[in-house]
């Protein structure tokens, strides 16, 4: 007996293929209806969520205040404590020792200042002139207060001895430990609310956490 190959009739289709074809047709029809009926939105209303966060710190006075001498330079300070770093920082300013003053800062802050100095055409002469203008009228420089947080320390310098006591100047420096354990001035906490507001602890601070969308 000879073998014969039977070819299915074109009218015969597997049931699963037919089911898939029906689903595709339904999907296309439904999709076209959705495209034809785009949802509409009413006018937007701006909402907000208010979060009250607490940022704790401690404040202590130096008793007596710690004198800052212009003979205290960066190369002669161990930087083992915040006071070491503050004395070196302010001492270098009073010396007009720009190179040592710049070397004191943490790496990120130092690189940022060098970049800004280059962009604005500022050099050592610019800073020495600014320091003489700012501190020249004063004769006494002391560390008066220390603010401690879990991330950084703020030490306050008081410059006094001008003709009018009301002209006393108070200058804060923010200090943190570097990876080697040395304390250094830093600009890394510009967005932290404590440095700008620690003197006014009872005054609420409003900070926009997320900008509102454009309506």
What is the mean predicted confidence (pLDDT) over 152-179?
Answer: 91
Residue whose tokens read 């212009």: 70
Domain ranges of the chain: 58-197
For residue 77, what pLDDT is reported? 74
Is pLDDT of 15 > 80?
Answer: no
Distance between CA atoms of 65 and 159, rounded to whole angstroms?
A: 12
Pseudo-torsion of CA 84, 86, 89, 90, nearest 10°? Answer: -120
What confidence tens digit (pLDDT) does each residue in 87-145 have? 999 999 999 999 999 999 999 999 999 999 999 999 999 999 999 999 988 999 999 99
How far is CA 8 from its chain centroid?
Answer: 75
Q: How far apart are CA 123 and CA 117, in angstroms?
A: 7
Averaged confidence pLDDT in the chain: 84
| Interacting residues of 122 by C-beta distance below 8 A, sequence separation 6+ | 116
Tell me: the pLDDT tens digits for 32-76? 555 567 888 888 888 888 888 899 999 999 999 999 987 655 566
Picking from 10-14, 48-52, 141-145, 206-210, which range would have the lowest pLDDT averaged per residue? 10-14
Query: What is the per-residue pLDDT for 75?
Result: 60
E strands in the chain: 58-67, 140-148, 153-160, 169-177, 183-185
What does the pLDDT read at residue 13? 47
Number of H helices, E strands in the chain: 6, 5
The mean-pLDDT minimum among 45-49, 115-119, 165-169, 189-193 falls in 165-169
Considering the segment(s) 58-197 as one domain, its CATH architecture is Roll (3.10)
């Amino acid at each position: 007996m000879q073998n014969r190959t039977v070819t299915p009739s074109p009218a015969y289709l597997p049931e699963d293929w037919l089911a898939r074809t029906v689903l595709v047709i339904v999907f296309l029809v439904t999709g076209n209806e959705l495209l034809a009926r785009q949802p509409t939105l009413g006018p937007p209303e701006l909402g907000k969520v208010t979060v009250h966060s607490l940022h704790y710190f401690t404040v202590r006075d130096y008793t007596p205040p710690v004198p800052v001498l212009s003979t205290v330079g960066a190369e002669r300070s161990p930087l083992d404590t915040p006071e070491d770093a503050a004395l070196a920082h302010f001492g270098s300013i009073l010396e007009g020792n720009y190179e040592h003053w710049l070397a004191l800062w943490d790496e990120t802050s130092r690189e940022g200042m060098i970049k800004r100095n280059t962009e604005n055409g500022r050099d050592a002469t610019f800073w020495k002139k600014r320091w003489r203008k700012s501190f020249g009228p004063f004769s006494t420089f002391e560390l008066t207060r220390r603010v401690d947080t879990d991330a950084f320390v703020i030490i306050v310098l008081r410059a006094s001895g001008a003709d009018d006591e009301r002209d006393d100047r108070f200058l804060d420096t923010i200090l943190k430990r570097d990876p080697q354990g040395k304390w250094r001035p830093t600009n890394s906490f510009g967005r932290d609310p404590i440095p700008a507001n620690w003197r006014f602890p009872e005054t609420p601070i409003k900070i926009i956490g997320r900008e509102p969308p454009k309506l």
